Structure 1
Amino acid sequence: MSQPRRTSRSRAWTALTLPVLLCVLAACSGGPASGRGADTAAPGASRTPSGPPGTLFDSFHYSGPDDPSLTANGWEVRNGAGSPGIKDTWSSAGAGFPSDATAQGGRVLQLRASTDGTKQGTRQVEVQSTGTALFTGTYAARVHLSERPTSGRDGDHVVQTFFPISSAEASADYSELDHEYLPNGGWGSVGSQLDNVSWYKADPPDRVSHTSKQHLEGWHIMMITAVNGKVTYSLDGKDLFTSSGKYVPREKMDIHFSNWFIDLPFTGGPRTWDMKVNWFYYKAGEAVSQAEVQKTVDGFYSAGTGFINTVPKS
């Protein structure tokens, strides 16, 4: 796997005003926030899901990238400069929160990357957490991966990703754990593949990785469990790869969802690629099975809890 790493990202750490803080506390207490409706519980779902301590959950029920609740709940939509992919083409215009009948709760975070084969006509998209650093434990997300573009000609080397990463690439304790789906390959590979990568250093690159050659169009539960000196990547309940030794988290990280292009292989007209995220769940310091993750998430939906954050502040 030959993968150039990301340059350091600019951060917009947002101070909470009193009204915003009260809003967040209300959400954490389990009360339904504005725009968050209750969902029908799955069989066996807990009606009173446990949140604290050390839990982060979001169902992404927001009105748009400028929704104040998005910032208040610790998310930032990237704009402008930096890598990876087509440098300096990140745009908040690609982030949306549309209704989706295939999603639990009926709403998703949509990440739409677009290009016409030129840098000027390219827009990459990323949403990242801010303010709540995450470390060991269980990371899980229900993610819709695209095998082909939503519109336009197929063939782009696009990367659809879910990963925790250090805030600063130059950190002495740099940490990064990747789920990366490449529907058309890239960096010399051909065909659909899922790459799982555990990083020790970004520059020069020091990492271990595993590639699964498979087609993954549709919804999947992607998980990363980092406990007891091991990192395990799984997809839909099946373990894919485990790293250990120095290839484990060494410091707290932010969570990122992004949709970007490795390169621009052709100019053949405009095309768009969609990645969707239904929900994100994190449990600090514990290995949680997929069945237990889903049961807890079902409980949050049935109780009308669209967002909760009880992860201790660093």
Structure 2
Amino acid sequence: MSQPRRTSRRRAWAVLTLPALLCVLAACSAGSAASGGGADAAPPAQEAPPTPSGPPGTLFDNFHYSGADDPALADHGWEIRTGGGGPGIKDTWSADGAGFPSDTTAQGGRVLRLRSTTDGTEQGTRQVEVQTTGKNFFTGTFAARVHFGDEPTSGRDGDHVVQTFFPISPADSSENYSELDFEYLPNGGWGSVGPQLDNVSWYKADPPDRVHSTLKRRLAGWHTLMITAMDGKVTYSLDGEKLFTSSGKYVPREKMDIHFSNWFIDLPFTGGPRTWDVKVNWVYHKVDEAVSPADVQKTVDGFYSAGTDYVNTVPKA
């Protein structure tokens, strides 16, 4: 069963690199010269922000980015966690583990890869998490195509690794804290023996107050994960198979971010370096609608057919 997930979720804020800063200064200097630099000079014309395209109330992203430093990643509302805190091995979050490689097994041929590594020591551990920054996801349908790993990509097996997809409140201390989890534990953890997929709906993080179900099944490979939060209940499904439903107080009460992460519960042995990979093909959200698994895939297929890599018409928080 899932344990309390967060002790601290400090975000890392972007900073300008020196070349980018010089470009900004050069642009400002050029603008000042063109206007004469006087106090009465008219301000430069501002371009109107692009109008979102696509179906209303929809997020879709198939992670066609050139790398973790691709400006489009931040422009599209994603960040790679580099701050401190938990869960897992605290203060080991690193942007090094996020990549966007080609993958012939993925729809469209590209993925978000979450690569976590450890040698069994805190100093030799790097965990990875990629999350949205909009804080504007509440009720409706959440879906993602995720590739779970039952074994490490390299090194000795046996780590208690957690491979996840979940929307969550920005702050653990929030009065209306909300979190809806898919957590795959190929080797179990917290005293359990894997493989297992935990579905967890939270009411409070501290002290923990949640309900859950556990599917004891080996899940290596690609799967479509869906969470439907509508009409006072939350339903979790895997490849169209309903797994668990929560209701009552165990439903979203405030807007959330969407996260993908790959982290270690503990460090059970040293035994040399090992690498664990999770891959995400695409993510989808539809505001305030319960979309069937077949219709989710039909919509995703339509985006791929049209050459659409990204849509976000979800109302801002």
TM-score (norm 1): 0.89
Residue in structure 1 matching 2:174, options 144, 159, 171: 171
Alignment partner of 1:210 out of 210, 213, 216: 213
Contact 1:74 1:132 in 2 (8 A): no
Task: Tell me the residue number matched to 1:114.
Answer: 117
Aligned: 1:124 with 2:95: no
1:6 is aligned to 6
Matched, 1:299 2:295: no
Q: Distance between the aligned counterparts of 1:296 and 1:132, measured in 2?
A: 24
4+ residue segments displaced more than 4 Å: 17-22
8 Å CA contact 2:4–2:206 kept in 1: the answer is: no
Unaligned runs of 5+ in 1: 30-50
Please tell me the residue identity of whatever aligns with 1:313.
K
By relative contact order (CA 8 Å, sep 6+), the higher-ranking structure is: 1
Structure 1 position 66, deviation (Å)? 1.1
Contact 1:54-1:283 at 8 Å conserved across structures:
yes
Residue 9 of structure 1: CA displacement? 1.5
Task: State the distance in 2 between where 1:229 and 1:156 align.
Answer: 37
1:220 paired to 2:213? no
SS of structure 2 residue aligned to 1:87: coil
Q: In the alignment, is the contact (CA less than 8 A) between 2:135 and 2:170 conserved in 1?
A: no
Per-residue CA deviation, residues 98-156 of structure 1 (Å, 9 max, x unaligned), is 00000011000000000000000000000000025100000000000000000000000
Aligned pair count? 289
Distance 1:287 1:266, change over 3 A: same
Give secondary structure in 2 for the equivalent of 1:231.
strand
- Tell me what 1:105 maps to: 108
Q: Residues 1-55 of structure 1: CA distance to partner in whole angstroms, max 9, x if unpaired?
A: 25132123123578xx999985xx37x43xxxxxxxxxxxxxxxxxxxxx32100
Whether 1:240 aligns to 2:249 is no
Q: Which runs of 5+ in 2 are unaligned?
A: 15-23, 25-44
- Residues of 1 paired with 2:47 and 2:239: CA distance? 36
- Aligned pairs for 1:48-67 within 5 A: 51-67=54-70
Q: 1:143 to 1:200 in 2, by over 3 A?
A: same
* 1:211-249 residue CA offsets vs partner (Å, 9 max, x unmatched): 010000000000000000000000000000000000000
Equivalences for residues 1-314 of structure 1 within 5 A: 1=1, 3-11=3-11, 22=49, 25=50, 28-29=52-53, 51-314=54-317
Kindly state the Cα deviation for residue 259 of structure 1 after the two structures are TM-superposed.
Answer: 0.1
Q: Secondary structure at the match of 2:278?
A: strand
Change (3 A) 1:121 1:21: farther
Task: Give the whole-Å Cα distance in 1 for the aligned partners of 2:269 and 2:107.
Answer: 36
Once residues 160 and 192 of structure 1 are traced to their aligned partners in structure 2, the CA distance between those partners, rounded to angstroms, is: 12
Within 1, Cα distance between the matches of 2:223 and 2:2? 25
The one-letter code of the counterpart of 1:100 is D
Q: Given residue 80 of structure 1, which amino acid in structure 2 is its aligned partner?
A: G
Residue type of the alignment partner of 1:143: V
* SS of alignment partner, residue 301 of structure 1: helix
Q: Distance in 2 between matches of 1:69 and 1:21?
A: 18
* Per-residue deviation, 1:180: 0.1
CA distance in 2, matches of 1:226, 1:189: 28
In structure 2, C-alpha distance between the alignment counterparts of 1:232 and 1:162, rounded to whole Å:
14
Higher gyration radius (CA): 2
Identity level (%) = 77
